Amino acid sequence: MSKKNVVIKIKELKTDTALIKDLELRFGRVMEETWTEPVGPTPFPSITALREWDHKLLQRYKPFYMPYCDVCCLCTFGKCDLTAGKRGACGINMEAQQSRIVLLACLIGASTHTAHARHLVEHLINKHGAGYPIDIGGLNIEVEAPIARLVCGIRPKTLGDLEEVLDYCENQITNLLSSTHTGQEGSNIDFESKVFHAGMIDHLGLEIADIAQITALGFPKADPEAPLVELGYGTIDSQKPTILCIGHNVVPATGIVDYLKENGLYGEVEVCGLCCTAHDVTRYSPKAKIVGPISWQLRFIRSGLPDVIILDEQCVRTDSLLEAQKIKAPVIVTSEKNCMGLPNRTRDPVDAIVTELVEGKVPGVLILDPEKVGEVAARTAVKVAPTRKKFKVIPNVEDIIEGAKTCKKCNDCRRACPQDLQIMDAVAEAADGNLDALANLYDSCVGCGRCESACQVDLPLHGYIVKAGEKKLKEEKFKVRSGRGAIQDVEIRNVGSPIVLGDIPGVVAVVGCSNYPHGGKEVVEICQEFANRRYIVLTSGCAAMTAAMYKDEEGKTLYEQYSGAFEAGGIVNVGSCVSNAHIAGAAIKIASIFAKRNLRANYEEIADYILNRVGAVGVAWGAYSQKAAAIGSGFWRLGVPVIVGPHGSKYRRMLLGREDHEEDWYVYDARTGDRVSVGPAPEHLFYAAESKEEAMVMIAKLCMRPNDTTKGRAIKLTHYIDLHKRLYKTVPEDLNLFVRTEADIPITMKDEILKILEDKRWKEGRIPDPTLLPRMIRKRKD
């Protein structure tokens, strides 16, 4: 490990020629010497250290801004109208303002993950000591922290070593945030570079968080056969007291599991979760259950099944306390970041807290000690359950029919619905006693509850939809593979070559939140389509849960049908949001383990490698959050394109290449120094697709890389053309841009494609050893 802020003081130094008194030497950082890998050019990079790389990317993938509105309202000069070239009172224009908002979003995400990591690391150091050795995969993992190695140039060995990375993250986030103040950065392109930096910092935060929890909480360690765990409303035993944990920070949930185990109650009480805490509690204890993604919060609370609700941090509905009160379930908030206005009872005796919660004297409490949370939650659940009797606030059918008759037909419900669901029409049918139309809305409903807020007669419309869809809800019984964590080094060795050469057509990471345009089934279809085509499919977060929520004819979910190994045709759940680090880590490890590139503080070279060689694409079909934005921006800097669904267009900015700009697609041939046109591969860095069909075709297209061998390119083209023919009913019009030599043409389509190429006046090109970095040229052409 490196040492920071080393100070050497010498009171008096006598030499033959001089007498030196009070000499003080200060070193900002002393790097570890036992690691023989040379330190690359950018250890702990400052905000501008990778600016040139960012500008290279942004020159090719130019920002395409899509403002939500015309104004800036961030300071008291405002509101300022920035429409069509106008500047605000501070001088900012719309491009810079949009990139500033994108940066703010990514910083919210990066700070959230970093603060999450900081909490985990501090908690686990308190419990196990700073010297506790890191272990995320035993002998199967040598490169334990690829992102920290790449960015910081350090090799953490203990929990204590992780703190240095977090110190760096916090420093960078502070500096980046300061650049968004009025009258700081004025260039949209430099804001975009800072967005990339924020994303890179975010990935560090992710990695540190998951390393800490895998190491010290006994999660699966890079295990392709991590246990299959239960998921879905229908898996919760309604006869048992039930503790529901919502959020992303698993620490309080581990306190609950520990207490229940220690007191022989674990079989008696259900522990379940929503969102990423759910993933992580099943990584801690496979007997815990996942209810579902974030959009299940309202429906599950209102179902009355939870007897005690634990809120930690991130993506927790801010009205959870109000919803819990409706079903008379006590709430325990457990994070300084999310106190919900409740009194801090951390130092109070457990008996007193439990009594007050059970008797309903307080609706909830703040407890910042996870062990105390465990005891209070367990004892309260056991005592509350018999009196609550699963009290629910889902209306019955008669209430719906009567309520529907009072509808004013204002249509405000539909106009508030992010999905534009035809709620008013469904309510009208319900007034006639037919709930089918309401039931049909269930799958597409994202559970936001905006319809209820908009209703002029206060109908509990989300409750109507849930009641009408109750049969589906109760049948939700699925198996999902628990998050495995990192990808093993040996797996990387096995697939590194076929990925880089193109024999495995790509790595598709289906990640992110559940703000899907048409329900979760499209996520399942995307995963299955690409696994069947022998891509490697990775999942994480809410998307990993959604991928489990449909069964085949034999009653099996994707995770029961497909391998959990990082191999062609695998569907690999890495875990929660913070586990996305392992997806970036896998790409980085391909460069390191397979290609033997130095990782240490060598970001630019590795990103250049990934951009030009590793056919990986991220798909965040339901991305909604700032954290998702930050995760995406980390991938952009690393050269991995990201596709979002139509709601993702609201992130306000895409990074789009122009396949018709031939001059944008030149690389250097590292062997000769020649500039070689390689076509638009990959064409975009951040892209919003309108439909699932468009996304699927774009996934196949964005997996192409300049380094593909002819065999690999032919395989990738086969999938691109095949999907295009099936979903667009046509042959792609841009094949001439992706066929470099005749050998690239899929053999079964040769005649058809040659004819197209002839019409396009295609000329044969060549396959270089591609790089965007002049310094990587081994032999210059004079």
Binding site for other proteins (CB under 8 A): 64-71, 81-85, 94-95, 410, 412, 415-416, 418, 420, 454, 517, 646-647, 649-650, 652, 654, 656, 658, 660, 687-691, 693-694, 697-698, 727-730, 733
Beta carbons of 676 and 509 less than 8 angstroms apart = no
Give me the residue label for tokens 């690239």: 744
Q: How far is the CB of 473 from other proteins (least distance, A)?
A: 27
Q: Which is nearer to other proteins, 451 or 676 (CB)?
A: 451
Assess contact for 307 and 329: CB atoms under 8 A.
yes
**Closest listed residue to residue 95, CA positions, set 148, 58, 130:** 58
Query: Which DSSP string do the residues of 278-330 spell out, in sequence order?
Result: HHHHHHH-TTSEEEESGGGHHHHHHTT--SEEEE-SSS--TTHHHHHHHTT--
Complex with other proteins: residue 425 or 674, whichever CB lies closer = 425
User: At which residue do the structure tokens 């040659």 appear?
Assistant: 754
Q: Looking at the DSSP assignment, which residues form a beta bridge with residue 619? A: 510, 643
Torsion, Cα 505 594 676 716, to 10 degrees, reads 0
Residue 280: count other Cβ atoms within 10 Å of its Cβ. Answer: 32
Minimum CB distance to other proteins smaller for 95 or for 604 = 95
Shortest approach of other proteins to residue 681 CB, angstroms? 16
Alpha-carbon gap, residue 390 to 304, rounded angstroms: 5
Separation of alpha carbons 223 and 284, rounded Å: 14
User: What minimum distance in Å lies between the beta carbon of 635 and other proteins?
Assistant: 18
| Nearer CB in complex with other proteins: 39/437 | 437
How far is residue 384's CA from residue 387's CA, in Å, rounded to a whole number?
6
The nearest distance, CB 123 to other proteins, in angstroms, is 39
Residue whose CB is less far from other proteins, 122 or 734: 734
- Closest approach of Cβ 685 to other proteins, in Å? 12
Instruction: Return the number of the residue (56 or 518) whose C-beta is nearest other proteins.
Output: 518
d(CA 36, CA 554): 53
The H-or-E segment that residue 1 falls in is none
Nearer to other proteins, 312 or 683 (CB): 683
Helix (H, G, I), strand (E, B) or coil at 674: coil
For 160, the 3-state DSSP assignment is helix
In the complex with other proteins, which residue's Cβ is closer, 444 or 709?
Answer: 444
H-state helical runs in 411-508: 412-416, 423-431, 436-441, 450-454, 461-468, 470-474, 489-501
Give whichever of 170 and 693 is closer to other proteins, judged by the CB atom.
693
Of 146 and 517, which CB lies nearer to other proteins in the complex structure? 517
Closest CA to 391 of 311, 324, 452: 324
Q: Who contacts 534 (Cβ-Cβ below 8 Å, separation ≥6)?
A: 504, 505, 568, 569
Q: Which is nearer to other proteins, 490 or 727 (CB)?
A: 727
Q: Could you tell me the smallest distance in angstroms from the CB atom of residue 86 to other proteins?
A: 9
State the nearest-atom distance from the C-beta of 710 to other proteins, in Å: 27
Of 346 and 411, CB closest to other proteins: 411
Shortest CB 316 distance to other proteins, Å? 22
Are the CB atoms for 499 and 614 separated by under 8 Å?
yes
* Cross-sheet strand order for the sheet of 331-333: 364-366, 331-333, 308-311, 242-246, 270-274, 289-292, 228-231, 478-481
CA gap 754, 746 in Å, rounded: 10
State in angstroms the smallest separation of the CB of 474 from other proteins.
30
Give backbone dihedrals phi and psi of 539, rounded to 5 degrees, phi first.
-135, 160
Q: Which residues pair with 676 in a beta bridge?
A: 667
Question: Measured from the CB atom, is 648 or 770 closer to other proteins?
Answer: 648
| CB-CB neighbours of 162 under 10 Å | 29
Residue 141 CA from chain centroid, whole number: 22
Secondary structure letter of residue 158 according to DSSP: B
Whose Cβ is closer to other proteins: residue 158's or residue 453's? Answer: 453
Min. distance of Cβ 69 from other proteins in angstroms?
5
72: which DSSP letter?
E
The whole-angstrom separation of Cα 136 and Cα 185 is 40
Smallest distance, other proteins to C-beta of residue 418, A: 7
Q: What is the nearest approach in angstroms of other proteins to the Cβ of residue 44?
A: 36
Dig out the tokens for 736 from the structure. Answer: 């001439």
- Burial classification of residue 567, based on how many CB atoms lie within 10 Å of its CB (0-12 exposed, 13-18 middle, 19 or more buried): middle
The DSSP-derived string for 18-57 is -EEEEEEEEEEEE--SS--SPP-S-SS--TTTTHHHHHHH
Q: How far is the CB of 400 from other proteins (least distance, A)?
A: 25
Q: Least distance in Å: CB of 423 to other proteins? A: 13
- Identity of the residue, 83 or 396, whose beta carbon is nearer to other proteins in the bound complex: 83
Q: Which is nearer to other proteins, 25 or 69 (CB)?
A: 69
Cβ proximity to other proteins, 416 vs 583, nearer residue: 416
What token pair was written down for 43?
């250890």
Closest approach of Cβ 85 to other proteins, in Å? Answer: 8
> Which residue's structure tokens are 């995963």?
527
CB of 649 to other proteins, least distance (A): 5
Q: Rounded to the nearest whole angstrom, what is the least distance from the CB of residue 512 to other proteins in the complex?
A: 17
Both structure tokens of 328: 């008379």
Which strands form 666-669's sheet, in the order they lie side by side? 675-677, 666-669, 770-771
For residue 591, what is the DSSP state?
I
